[in-house]
């Protein structure tokens, strides 16, 4: 069947590996081929098709390229050509984090779902508390609830879907994308490292030489059918193959799966992350489960899409619109926080040259103090060097403040003034240096926005800095 106009495609399906894309293509009820048109800056290769009444765009990361940034690039390019996409699906393989609460086996599926303050994905190389990313779109969360309810009453349809989709494939494909046997699913004690064989041995890629007594004994399952787990997925730019790190991330962040693409998408491409478990993110990881894990994740995705009515997708705002709204909300939120932090800074009222208390003071009359004012302007226009301070001294009442106000006003007219501070022995906060630095910092944050970020970050890092002594500031 030939492809439809780009505007008819409403779901974006992103894969990281060719084998994941193969599993995705197997799930299509109809294959639409390639797009009729593509944006000039879009270098993705697409496979189009449909599942039920949903028209789907499938794209894969470039061969040999991994991580959060390439995933974000693929998504951005997809949106440039398919502006009607309502939500995304990141479907592929990942490393499981088994625990007493989550008895995860190879071939099982982990689906990103919000838990407490986490939106379903946390970036583990961005820090424990700052890495939480946007939650999946509401239409997908509603679909999860519906499917979970179905699975309370009936078994999942993944084995049935795989059997149907593999029936017409070659024996080679059927073997590769089928369950790899419980004897090949072994979880080892955290402290036990993989036994590396000689380079010319085939066992270097398996655990034939690993000590069987170091395996963790797990209860037998009644079937080999995959189990679906819902929770937080950890994402980062570097794959984890260390069981100690794996367990630490599981305990500290509450993640149950690790992968390396999702963090590049969640804040800019509203999506659900669905991962088939192909290893345990330890030194024993090997590739024999990858195709089956990709297939189970793809089959789950098909089952999920089957419970989403096509009529509910069309009214959902396109991703491009959602991103625009999210960016605006984020900008407004960041601006409000920026203003809140600046408002905390204690100021010396009336210290700036243009304050009400200073306005009645005179400036230099036209034609007076010309040489001295020219000298100051020449100093200001010099290239940055050792003379960073212009020291103007003289007896009281000789016009120092008048000259300073004149210079400050001229710099303001040219948008060059960063800050000003005029002392006054008769006012509490202008007669000593206690609020000099905070008053100047506040003005610099207002006049130089890029510098303002450093000021607010300093307050966030140490809220008491604004009350510290002049030496500490």
Instruction: Indicate whether 326 and 410 sit together in one domain.
Output: no
Residues 313 and 363 in one domain: no
Long-range pairs of 339-342 with CB within 8 A, sequence gap ≥ 24: 341/455, 341/456, 341/459, 341/460, 342/442, 342/445, 342/446, 342/452, 342/455, 342/456
Last residue of a domain, one of 277, 301, 330: 330
DSSP per-residue letters across 270-339: -EEEEEEEEE-SSTT--STTHHHHHHHHHHHHHHHHHTS-HHHHTTSPPHHHHHHHHHHHHHHHHHHHHH
Same domain, 84 and 207: yes
Average of per-residue pLDDT values in the chain: 84
CA distance 209 to 207: 5
In a domain, 473, yes or no: no
In a domain, 338, yes or no: no
Of 44-53, 213-222, 380-389, 413-422, where does mean pLDDT reach its minimum? 380-389
Q: Enter the pTM of the model.
A: 0.69
Q: Are both 64 and 101 inside the same structural domain?
A: yes
Chain segment 4-46, per-residue pLDDT in tens: 899 999 999 999 999 999 999 999 999 999 999 999 889 999 9
SS3 231: strand
Please check whether residue 315 lies inside any domain of the structure: yes
In the chain, helix, strand, coil percent, each to 5? Answer: 40, 15, 45
Is the pLDDT assigned to residue 131 strictly greater than 80? no
Question: Would you say 298 and 158 are in contact if contact means Cβ atoms under 8 Å apart?
Answer: no
Task: Indicate whether 149 and 172 sit together in one domain.
Answer: yes
Q: How far apart are CA 92 and CA 24, in angstroms?
A: 9
pLDDT above 90: residue 316 = no
Which tokens go with 8? 């008819």
Give the CATH number of the domain where residue 102 resides. Answer: 3.40.50.1580
Reply yes or no on whether the pLDDT at 301 is more than 90: yes
Domain range holding 413?
Answer: 344-467
Q: Report residue 178's pLDDT band, with 50, 70 and 90 as the boundaries.
A: very high
200 and 257 in a single domain? The answer is yes
Q: Please, are residues 120 and 141 in contact by the beta-carbon 8 Å criterion?
A: no
Domain's final residue, options 300, 330, 360: 330
pLDDT bucket at 181, cuts 50 / 70 / 90: very high
pLDDT score of 68: 78
18: three-class secondary structure by DSSP: helix
pLDDT, residue 297, reads 98
Q: Quick check: 324 pLDDT over 60?
A: no
> Which range is least confidently modeled, 77-86, 202-211, 371-380?
202-211
pLDDT at residue number 53 = 93
Whether residues 371 and 256 fall in one domain: no
Residue 472 forms part of a structural domain: no
**pLDDT band, residue 197 (cuts 50/70/90):** low
Residue 1 placed within a domain: no
32 close to 1: Cβ distance less than 8 angstroms = yes
Instruction: Note whether residue 337 is domain-resident.
Output: no
Distance (Å, whole) CA 68 – CA 283: 22
pLDDT of residue 130 exceeding 50, the answer is: no
Alpha helix locations (H) across 104-137? none
Token reading at 70:
């390439």
Query: How far, in Å, CA of 369 to CA of 365, rounded?
Result: 8
CB 280 within 8 A of CB 246: yes
Any domain includes 339: no
Higher pLDDT pick, 167 / 342 = 167
Burial class of residue 448 in the structure, from the number of CB atoms within 10 Å of its CB (0-12 exposed, 13-18 middle, 19+ buried): middle
366, 456: one domain = yes
| Residues in Cβ contact with 341 at an 8 Å cutoff, skipping those fewer than 6 apart | 455, 456, 459, 460
Closest CA to 397 of 436, 352, 361: 361
Domain end residue (candidates: 276, 304, 330) = 330
Between 116-130, 175-189, 442-456, the lowest mean confidence (pLDDT) is in 116-130
Model pLDDT for residues 61-72, shown as the tens digit of each residue: 998 887 778 888
Mean pLDDT lowest among 131-145, 240-254, 359-373: 359-373
Q: State how many domains the chain has.
A: 2
- For CA atoms 83, 84, 87, 88, the dihedral sign is negative
Task: Give pLDDT, residue 109.
Answer: 98
Q: For residues 88 and 102, give the distance between their C-alpha atoms in angstroms, rounded to a whole number.
A: 26
**Whether residues 301 and 366 fall in one domain:** no
**Judgement on whether residues 69 and 138 belong to the same structural domain of the protein:** yes
Q: What is the pLDDT of residue 447?
A: 74
**Which pLDDT score, from 0 to 100, does residue 416 have?**
75
What's the average model confidence in pLDDT over 151-178?
97
pLDDT of 386 reads 61
User: Looking at the predicted structure, is the pLDDT value of residue 200 above 60?
Assistant: no
395 in the same domain as 261 = no
Do the strands 109-112 and 87-96 form a parallel or antiparallel pair, or are they unpaired?
unpaired
Q: 155 lies in a domain?
A: yes
Q: Do 249 and 184 reside in the same domain of the chain?
A: yes
């Amino acid at each position: 069947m030939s492809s439809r106009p780009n505007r008819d495609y409403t779901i974006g399906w992103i894969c990281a590996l060719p084998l994941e894309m193969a599993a995705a293509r197997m799930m299509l009820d109809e294959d639409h081929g390639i797009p009729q048109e593509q944006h000039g800056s879009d270098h993705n290769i697409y496979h189009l098709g449909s599942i039920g009444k949903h028209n789907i765009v499938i794209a894969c990361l470039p061969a040999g390229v991994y991580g959060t940034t390439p995933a974000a690039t693929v998504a951005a390019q997809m949106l440039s050509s398919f502006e009607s996409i309502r939500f995304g699906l990141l479907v592929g393989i990942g490393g499981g984090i088994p625990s007493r609460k989550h008895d995860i086996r190879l071939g099982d599926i982990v689906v990103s779902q919000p838990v407490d303050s986490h939106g379903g994905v946390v970036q583990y190389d961005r820090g424990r508390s700052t890495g939480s990313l946007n939650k999946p779109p509401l239409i997908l969360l509603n679909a999860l609830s519906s499917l979970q309810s179905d699975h309370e009453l009936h078994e999942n349809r993944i084995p049935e879907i795989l059997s149907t989709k593999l029936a017409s494939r070659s024996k080679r494909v059927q073997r590769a994308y089928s369950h790899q046997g419980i004897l090949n699913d072994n979880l080892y004690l955290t402290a036990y490292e993989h036994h590396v064989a000689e380079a010319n041995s085939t066992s270097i890629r398996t655990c034939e030489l690993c000590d069987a007594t170091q395996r963790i004994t797990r209860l037998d399952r009644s079937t080999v059918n995959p189990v679906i787990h819902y929770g937080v997925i950890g994402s980062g730019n570097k794959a984890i193959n260390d069981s100690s790190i794996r367990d630490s991330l599981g305990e500290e962040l509450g993640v149950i799966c690790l992968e390396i693409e999702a963090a590049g998408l969640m804040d800019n491409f509203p999506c659900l992350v669905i991962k088939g478990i192909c290893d345990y993110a330890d030194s024993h990881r090997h590739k024999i489960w990858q195709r089956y894990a990709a297939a189970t994740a793809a089959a789950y995705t098909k089952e999920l899409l089957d419970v989403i009515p096509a009529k509910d997708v069309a009214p959902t705002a396109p991703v491009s619109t959602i991103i625009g709204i999210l960016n605006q909300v984020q900008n407004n939120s960041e601006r409000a926080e920026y203003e809140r932090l600046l408002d905390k800074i204690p100021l010396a009222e009336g210290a700036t040259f243009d304050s009400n208390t200073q306005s009645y003071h005179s400036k230099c009359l036209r034609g007076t103090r010309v040489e001295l004012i020219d000298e100051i302007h020449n100093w200001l226009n010099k290239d940055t060097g050792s003379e960073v301070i212009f020291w103007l001294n003289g007896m009281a009442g000789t016009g120092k403040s008048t000259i300073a106000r004149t210079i400050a006003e001229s710099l303001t007219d040219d948008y060059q003034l960063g800050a000003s501070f005029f002392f006054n022995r008769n006012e509490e906060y202008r007669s000593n240096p206690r609020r000099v630095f905070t008053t100047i910092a506040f003005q610099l944050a207002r006049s130089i926005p890029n510098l303002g970020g450093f000021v607010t970050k300093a307050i966030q890092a140490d809220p008491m800095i604004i009350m510290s002594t002049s030496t500490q500031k």
